[in-house]
Amino acid sequence: MRYIPEEVKRKIEDLRELIEYHNYRYYVLADPVITDEEYDNLMKQLIELEKKYPELVTPDSPTQRIGDKVLEEFRTVQHSEPMLSLDNTYDEDQIKEFDDRVKKTVELETVEYVTELKIDGVSVSLRYEKGRFLLGLTRGDGTRGEDITENLKRVRSIPLRLRKPIDIEVRGEVYMPVQEFERLNNERLEQGEPPFANPRNATAGTIRQLDTSVTRARNLDSFIYYVLYPERYGLKTQWDALNLLKDLGFKVNPHSRICKDIHQVIEYWNEWIKKKDELPYWVDGIVVKVNQFELQRILGTTAKAPRWAIAFKFPSEKVETKLLDVTIQVGRTGVLTPVAELEPVQLAGTVVRRASLHNFDYIVEKDIRIGDWVYIEKAGGIIPQVLYVDKSRRTGQEKEIEIPESCPMCSGRVGKLNPEDVALRCLNPHCPAKLKRSLVTFAARNALDIKGLGEKIIEKLVDSGLVKDLADIFYLTPFELTQLGSGIGHKTIANLLSQIEQAKSAPLYKIITGLGIPMVGEKTARTLARSMGSIDKIMGATLDELTQIPGIGSEIARSIREYFDNEKTKELIKKLKQAGVKLQEEHQQNKQTLAGLTFAITGVLKNFSRNQIEDLIHSLGGKVSDSVTKKTDYLIVGENPGSKLSKANNLGIRIINELEFLELIKVEAKNHQQQRLL
Ligand code: IVH
């Protein structure tokens, strides 16, 4: 072990303790004493140190936790044996040539093969020590792979403990089942995100998520098919290896077969061309492996692939059709996705009318034009995509596809977030296509923290037309919310409205964060709030004034100016002000909506504790009395009311329930507003 200075060890331990403490504050007490950013910073320091001194990493380090944002990147690890890929064959002649080569090399008349399904996923290598899952790697460049151990722990079919306490390294395929792929892509389409082109991309995108909770949420599965150093376990054949894997508790594909010769291999291939669509996962061919390890050793490998195995791919289902037009979808993240409108054509069981063109770079790269005859294929059997153009059929009448200069939804400016990005995006923060996403940002914990405003409600609010911009949420009434229909009960509504009410007095930086100004995250929002003190000041600041603020460079300043110069922004800010949202830093009292009014409360309230409702009334300038008297203006009634109810009845005092109370706050707020404007 190399020398590591004591202070490094101490620093690591201190960091771990500190992070654990803040974890506790945050997750256990829900009472953080540092900002997310400060927390992330500590974690970053620890990750950095652990990366430098991997020998000091312990399983109990906070970096090992399940959770978001813990990993900064994947470390790479040397494979104990290179991870090769396979050569491909596509027809019977090619597979027979393979068989001939094999037979010639091993000098045998016939060779026995194991045939396996070729799973369309991502290959991984798993290391176990004393039967415990220690390390999981991607293929990487074949020599070094990325350590995705934590994500692989979220693939439930990968055992964390084997049924025998042995040291072993195995390889196999992690894949996304058909159903999960469809679910995920539907979800992405709904959210305006580009769907994954095929299950392999979806798996690769999931397994390499730095946030392990994403992997856990997407039900990946696995098939293991390869044992490293099989002689250590007395294995003579691939078939034995598959059996050992099964015995150890791995998931092994049940459709593998021993084939006595290449004819049986071809039979297997033909069988599965017919049956492949019945499987709950995608296979794009079969893998043919020489069964005897002894023979495998004689055959050896090339730099890229073994000579003892080969992929025998299924014919892909492709069809030619005419590209009639290209339309553009604007997703919730503002991504502009070109969609091919096709002359309807039958493909793999369905009529295809539209297909993905991925992005505008793809169109340029493949030189796709309107009027072209294009080949389409269903990626992973599902999502049709345009593969290439049949240029021989061009007439000269084809039209070039224009790359949009403005957003088709809002005419906003479009561009790439960075030069490597393939996606073209609408840059207008007020683009209606992005409203749902903006509302999520607005309601997020680091912004206005409106917990009741989750994705589902946002979906309904926007779809129903009740909310057309961020400020509209402050104008929602209980009546409107009950109209949203199923799934939103009174309790939810009352909670939501009270949270929205409280959000009006959120600190300025949280409101700025929530606006989603391009390039302005929480940190910059804090800086802005601290140095400018109010939205009005920020709106009035020149580029020069903005760049003078430490931490705000010219690009951010320009983005801020651009945001506030937008007419929509000006309207939005006006509406927020009118709704009573506090848009300045100094502690301003809540509007005294209930000034002069006295409330009494009886019975059990569904949505507030007594303290909560009393605090709310007080914060709005009202009074709460313990008993009902002539001076009481309102009695708020919950379940099982006490004697106060009959007393209020006798005195003719107005009796309201919780929802009516919330309605009252709104009405009073509007009255105040009008008075102020007059
Ligand atoms: S054997 C040296 N068996 O196909 C051993 N690979 O195109 C090579 N694959 O990288 C792998 N199912 O990711 C093998 N039953 C199977 C497979 C399989 C899918 C993948 C694997 C490999 C790729 C080659």
* pLDDT score for 223: 94
For the chain, how far is it from start to end, CA to CA, in angstroms?
78
* pLDDT score for 157: 83
Residue 420 located in a structural domain: no
The more confidently predicted of residues 608 and 499 is 499
Q: Report which of 436, 473, 442, 469 is spatially closest to residue 455, judged by C-alpha positions.
A: 436
Burial class of residue 419 in the structure, from the number of CB atoms within 10 Å of its CB (0-12 exposed, 13-18 middle, 19+ buried) = exposed
The minimum-distance atom of ligand 1 relative to the CA of 88 is 7
Domain boundary among 354, 381, 400: 400
Q: Is the CB of 86 under 6 A from ligand 1?
A: yes
Most confident of 107-121, 153-167, 345-359, 612-626: 107-121
558 and 600 part of one domain = no
* pLDDT score for 665: 83
- How many structural domains compose the chain? 5
Q: pLDDT-derived band of residue 673, with 50, 70 and 90 as boundaries?
A: low
Residue 77 located in a structural domain: no
Burial class of residue 54 in the structure, from the number of CB atoms within 10 Å of its CB (0-12 exposed, 13-18 middle, 19+ buried) = exposed
CB 535 within 8 A of CB 583: yes
CB 192 within 8 A of CB 329: yes
pLDDT tops 70 at residue 525 = yes
In angstroms, the Cα distances linking 352 to 91, 178, 373, 625 are 27, 19, 14, 69
CATH of the domain at 147: 3.30.470.30
Give distance in angstroms: CA of 282 to centre of ligand 1: 13
Residue 518 located in a structural domain: yes
pTM: 0.52
Q: How far apart are CA 388 and CA 373, in angstroms?
A: 9
Burial class of residue 410 in the structure, from the number of CB atoms within 10 Å of its CB (0-12 exposed, 13-18 middle, 19+ buried) = middle
500 and 615 part of one domain = no
CATH of the domain at 19: 1.10.287.610
509 and 596 part of one domain = no
Q: How far apart are CA 321 and CA 333, in angstroms?
A: 31
CATH of the domain at 382: 2.40.50.140
242 and 337 part of one domain = no
Which DSSP state fits 392?
G
Give distance in angstroms: CA of 164 to centre of ligand 1: 25
Q: How far apart are CA 335 and CA 360, in angstroms?
A: 11
CB 273 within 8 A of CB 67: no
pLDDT tops 50 at residue 591 = yes
Residue 558 located in a structural domain: yes
CB neighbour burial string for 115-147, b if at least 16 within 10 angstroms, e if fewer: bbbbbbbbbbbbbbeebebebbbbbbeeebbbb
In angstroms, the Cα distances linking 626 to 476, 595, 599, 605, 646 are 31, 18, 9, 15, 15
Q: Which residues are identified as catalytic? A: 118
* pLDDT score for 588: 45
121 and 169 part of one domain = yes
Q: How far apart are CA 645 and CA 650, in angstroms?
A: 9
Q: Is the CB of 252 under 6 A from ligand 1?
A: no
| Segment 532-590, tens digit of pLDDT | 999 999 999 999 999 988 888 888 899 899 999 999 899 999 999 999 999 988 644 55
Domain of residue 28 covers 6-65
Q: How far apart are CA 98 and CA 94, in angstroms?
A: 6
pLDDT tops 60 at residue 633 = yes
618 and 652 part of one domain = yes
CATH of the domain at 600: 3.40.50.10190
Task: Kindly tell me the sign of the dihedral angle through the C-alpha atoms of 201, 204, 207, 210.
Answer: negative
User: Region 243-266: what's the mean pLDDT?
Assistant: 94
Domain boundary among 586, 604, 629: 586
Question: Worst-scoring range by mean pLDDT, 20-29, 218-227, 473-482?
Answer: 20-29
Question: Worst-scoring range by mean pLDDT, 49-53, 375-379, 436-440?
Answer: 375-379
The residues with which 345 forms a beta bridge, in sequence order, are: 352
Q: pLDDT-derived band of residue 69, with 50, 70 and 90 as boundaries?
A: very low
644 and 580 part of one domain = no
pLDDT tops 90 at residue 294 = yes
Please report the DSSP string for 13-74 in residue order.
Answer: HHHHHHHHHHHIIIIISS--SS-HHHHHHHHHHHHHHHHH-GGG--TTSGGGSSSTT--SS-
* pLDDT score for 27: 55
Give distance in angstroms: CA of 239 to centre of ligand 1: 15
Domain boundary among 380, 400, 420: 400
Residue 187 located in a structural domain: yes
Residue 59 located in a structural domain: yes
| Segment 87-114, tens digit of pLDDT | 999 899 999 999 999 999 999 999 999 9
The more confidently predicted of residues 47 and 194 is 47
Q: pLDDT-derived band of residue 677, with 50, 70 and 90 as boundaries?
A: very low
557 and 655 part of one domain = no
Question: Worst-scoring range by mean pLDDT, 60-74, 131-145, 486-500, 549-563?
Answer: 60-74
Residue 72 located in a structural domain: no
Task: Tell me the best of 88, 119, 301 to mutate to test the pocket of ligand 1, counting ligand atoms within 8 Å of each CB and taking the most.
Answer: 119
CB 379 within 8 A of CB 198: yes
528 and 666 part of one domain = no
Residue 632 located in a structural domain: yes
244 and 180 part of one domain = yes
User: Region 621-635: what's the mean pLDDT?
Assistant: 89
* pLDDT score for 33: 84
Q: Is the CB of 150 under 6 A from ligand 1?
A: no
285 and 342 part of one domain = no
Give distance in angstroms: CA of 147 to centre of ligand 1: 19
Going by DSSP bridges, is the β-strand pair 623-624/598-602 parallel, antiparallel, or unpaired? parallel
The more confidently predicted of residues 180 and 671 is 180
139 and 210 part of one domain = yes
The minimum-distance atom of ligand 1 relative to the CA of 139 is 10
CATH of the domain at 472: 1.10.150.20
User: Region 260-270: what's the mean pLDDT?
Assistant: 97
